Each structure stands twice: as structure tokens, then as C-alpha cells.
Amino acid sequence: MKSIQVTAEHVYQVFVGRDILSEVSHHIDGASRIAVIHPQSMQAVAGKLRQDLASVESISIEVPDAENAKTSAVLEFCWMALGKAGFTRNDIIISLGGGATTDLAGFVAATWLRGIKVIHIPTTLLAMVDAAVGGKTGINTSEGKNLVGAIYSPSAVICDMNFLDSQTRDDYIGGLAEVIKCGFIRDEKILDLIESDMLGAQSSGWVHAPEVIARAIQVKADVVGTDLRETLGTSAGREILNYGHTFGHAVERLENYSWRHGNAVSVGMMFVAHLSQLAGRLDQETVERHHRVLSGVGLPVTYNRGTFNQLHDAMRIDKKSRGSKLRFIVLEQVGKPAILEGPDAALLIAAHAKLGQAEDHA
């Protein structure tokens, strides 16, 4: 088991390994009650977890799967369940599920009695390397994704890689987008390992899977530790974790959240790589490396379904915008992200056009 320290409002550990669910019991001291928030697909695991923690009274709060969980109605349902069970500030929420579950449960914990402890048990690759680490919580509204939320760090994150063995291949590959993102913005060794065996990288049983997952989590831990709340202004602090997300979130909105988050981020990274190159910030070779790595593991690198105006309107309400100005994290080279604020519309249109032609790149 590997332990990665995150320094935020408080210091907490992210544990990565196999057969490590017993680690939960080390983080519930002082609790009178536990609420396990989980989707229906995790019902049996949630029941087993509650049995293992039988020394503490517990309840199960079953929520919808995926993005359907991240609504104000589900949030209110969770509050009601906690209220009926008499949850106090000494009690603990445990999230068990993918990124949508950790986002929701984290926000429930942040808002119940102005904050109670939460432990995340992410069960997907995407949740392990992204949603469960860093303290971002939130729900969606009709106006966009994650527009209502809070920064609220967990007490611990337990990433048991056994869960990844039951993920579908497509879901696992979708999670790889966030791993690859960490490679481009901070840790080139991740890219090197994936490029060494792009077929093997598509499986949780790959010999280097534990290392690239731990490296991606370490990237996020390091970035969050220096800029928890994205307050560095014109400097590229925590915002670098949003590489590919401005365009990716626009795609998700246009697709009514039917796309996997990682797939949307993949085309978002491809878009911003083109934008970086057109703005004179990135060399063509690195743009082609984006295409090679992303497509090599089975992620999408093209997007033709939305018009530029539709995507532009969706990007304008992105959380990273400042006033009327769009704000992108771009690359100047691998490991060197920067901010591009208010790019000319002609650059955006040209990058969008290249995104539709990306299949022409070898």
C-alpha cells in the first residue's frame, strides 16, 4: 500500500493499493454514526462495509448512478436522511462510488451542520485520480456542471484498486484521460510509461498501473497543496488541473452529460493543444504527442457534433472564466502549463476547426 499526503485545510492521506478497505476502520474514531452514500450498483459492497464497521451505528443512503446523483433534489434527500438519523458533528459520511458519488457526498458533508467528516472510497479510476482527491465537491444545475459546490477536504481517501478490475474497459479508459492530463501538465514519466505499452495501459492489471495511478494522485496532491482554492490569480496554480476541462465541460453540457467525463476531457485537451500551438505557445510535435497518446489508449481526439457558437456559449459560463473573458490552461511544453486569457475568437474558431480534422494527424 502506498500513502500520499495531501496538505489542505488539514493534512490527510490518500491510500493506494489492493485489499485495503480495512483502512477505513482507522479513520472513524469518535464517530457515533456513519452514513454510507452509494449508488445502487454498490449496494452489496456498502452492506459488507457496514458489517465490517458494526461497532458504530450506520445507515445506507442510496443515490442515483453517475451524474443523476448530482442534483439539488438528491442533495436534499441526503440531508433528510441525515436529519432523520440524528447526525451530529461527531458523525462521519463515507462515500462509496465513482466521481459523481464523491462529489455529492463531499458536498453533503460540507453543508450538513456546516461541515462533518467525510471519507472517500472511490471505485473508479476517474474518481481515484481526480474527483476524490483535492476537496472539490459539487452538484450540477441546468446552467452547467459543478456550478454549485464547495472546497471541502476529506479525512482520508482509500483507493482500493480491486474495484478497478470490475470496471468496464470503456470506463477505465475514460479515467485514463485524467492520468494522461497529469502527465502533460506535471509528470512526463506518466506519458513515457503509457507510450511504452499503450495496449497494456488500457487495463487495471497492467504492470505499471499502480505507478501511473499513484503518480497522477501525487500530481494532484502537490498542486492542491500549493493552491487549494485557486487563488493565485494570474499565476497558474490549481487551475492547471483544469487542463482540457473548459472545452470538455462544454462538450459534456452539449451532450446532456451522456459522454464520459474522461472522453470529454480528452477532446478538450486536444482542443487546447491546438489552441496553444495556434497562439504560438506550443510546438507541433507536442500537439501530435497529444493525439498519439490519447488515441493510442482509445480516447477520442475529434469532436464534430457541436457548432462553434454552441460550444463557445457553453464555455462562457465555465467556472474558470473571468467576467466575459474565457480563460484556458494551455501548454508551453510538457510540464509547463500557463494561462491564456481572452484569446481572439479567430484562434478559437481555428482550434475548433482543427479538432474536427485531428484524424488527419499520423
For residues 202 and 234, state if they share a domain: yes
Residue 6 has pLDDT above 90, yes or no: yes
CB atoms within 10 A of CB 129: 31
Burial of 111 (0-12, 13-18, 19+ CB in 10 A): middle
Distance from the Cα of residue 18 to its chain's centroid:
21
Bigger pLDDT: 141 or 236?
A: 141
| Domain final residue, candidates 118, 146, 165 | 165
- Read off the pLDDT band of 310 (50, 70, 90): confident
- Read off the pLDDT band of 324 (50, 70, 90): low
Indicate the residue type of 92.
Answer: I
* pLDDT tens-digit readout, 182-191: 999 999 999 9
For residues 116 and 100, state if they share a domain: yes
279 contacts 347 by C-beta, under 8 angstroms? yes
Provide the whole-model pTM.
0.90
Query: How is 1-70 classified by DSSP, letter by letter?
Result: -EEEEEESSSEEEEEEESS-GGGGGGG-TT-SEEEEEEEGGGHHHHHHHHHHTTTSEEEEEEE-SGGGGS
CATH number of the domain to which 305 belongs: 1.20.1090.10
What was the pLDDT predicted at 359?
Answer: 45
| Domain final residue, candidates 165, 190, 223 | 165
| Residue whose C-alpha is closest to residue 92's, from 37, 12, 132, 159 | 37
For residues 153 and 255, state if they share a domain: no
Q: Are strands 136-141 and 57-63 parallel, antiparallel or unpaired?
A: unpaired
Specify the DSSP element, H or E, that contains 92: strand 92-97
Hunting for cell 458536498 — which residue is that? 107
Mean pLDDT, residues 276-297: 97
130 contacts 115 by C-beta, under 8 angstroms? no
Residue 97 has pLDDT above 80, yes or no: yes
What is the per-residue burial (b if ≥16 Cβ within 10 Å, else e) of 311-337? Answer: bbebbeebbbbeeeebbbbbbeebeeb
CA of 89: how far to CAs of 2, 7, 35, in Å? 30, 22, 13
For residues 107 and 157, state if they share a domain: yes
For residues 229 and 290, state if they share a domain: yes
Residue 361 has pLDDT above 80, yes or no: no
CATH number of the domain to which 104 belongs: 3.40.50.1970
Task: Please give the tally of structural domains in the chain.
Answer: 2
Q: Are strands 2-7 and 11-17 parallel, antiparallel or unpaired?
A: antiparallel
- Read off the pLDDT band of 321 (50, 70, 90): low
For residues 173 and 317, state if they share a domain: yes
For residues 145 and 157, state if they share a domain: yes
Q: Which domain holds residue 56?
A: 2-165
For residues 142 and 208, state if they share a domain: no
For residues 146 and 172, state if they share a domain: no
Residue 50 has pLDDT above 70, yes or no: yes
What was the pLDDT predicted at 232?
Answer: 55
Average pLDDT, rounded, for the chain: 91
| Domain final residue, candidates 117, 142, 165 | 165
Query: How is 223-287 classified by DSSP, letter by letter?
Result: HHHH-TTS--TTS-SGGGGGTTHHHHHHHHHHTTT-S-HHHHHHHHHHHHHHHHHHTTSS-HHHH
For residues 72 and 221, state if they share a domain: no
Report the Cα–Cα distance between both ends of the chain, in Å, rounded: 39
What was the pLDDT predicted at 144?
Answer: 73
Residue 323 has pLDDT above 60, yes or no: no
For residues 184 and 288, state if they share a domain: yes
CB atoms within 10 A of CB 107: 23
For residues 313 and 342, state if they share a domain: yes
